[in-house]
Amino acid sequence: MLQVMRNGENRIDVEFAGKLDSNDMRVALDELSQQSEGIEHGRVLYRVGDFELPTLGAIAVELSRIPQLFRFVRRFDRMAVVAGKEWVRKASEVEGALIPGLQIKAFDLGQEAEAEAWLQR
């Protein structure tokens, strides 16, 4: 399950749980691109539920859309990731360290208020 919602002028909220296959990945990337259209210096709140690694087909779709992903990421300055699994939080922060101009901070499930406050800074 993936849900992308515009939340104001410069923010989108993403809720994700389960496993993505290639079709799910196409839909997810299209939705992220569409919902983020026109955003500059934006913020993203990711809520990650029971997450499983995507299929190889989904990874292939993601890799084939690297230019689209870069356009998406450049629209944002901050991403907060709220997740119950430690490895998801760690992977998110590593990703943030690798992407210039984007700050990613991870929070545990009980820290959504802290994530919201961090996004507002």
> Phi, psi at residue 24, to the nearest 5°?
-60, -40
Provide the pLDDT confidence category of residue 47 given band limits of 50, 70 and 90. Answer: very high
Distance CA 62, CA 86 (A): 23
Mean pLDDT of all residues in 22-38: 92
Mean pLDDT of all residues in 48-66: 87
Tell me the residue type at 25.
M
Provide the residue range defining the domain that includes 55. 2-120
Provide the pLDDT confidence category of residue 19 given band limits of 50, 70 and 90. Answer: confident
Cα–Cα nearest to 104, from 84, 74, 88, 80? 80
Query: What is the number of structural domains in the chain?
Result: 1
pTM summary value:
0.89
Mean pLDDT of all residues in 23-44: 93
Question: For residue range 67-84, what is the model confidence (pLDDT) as tens digits?
Answer: 888 889 999 999 999 999
Cα–Cα nearest to 2, from 51, 44, 41? 51
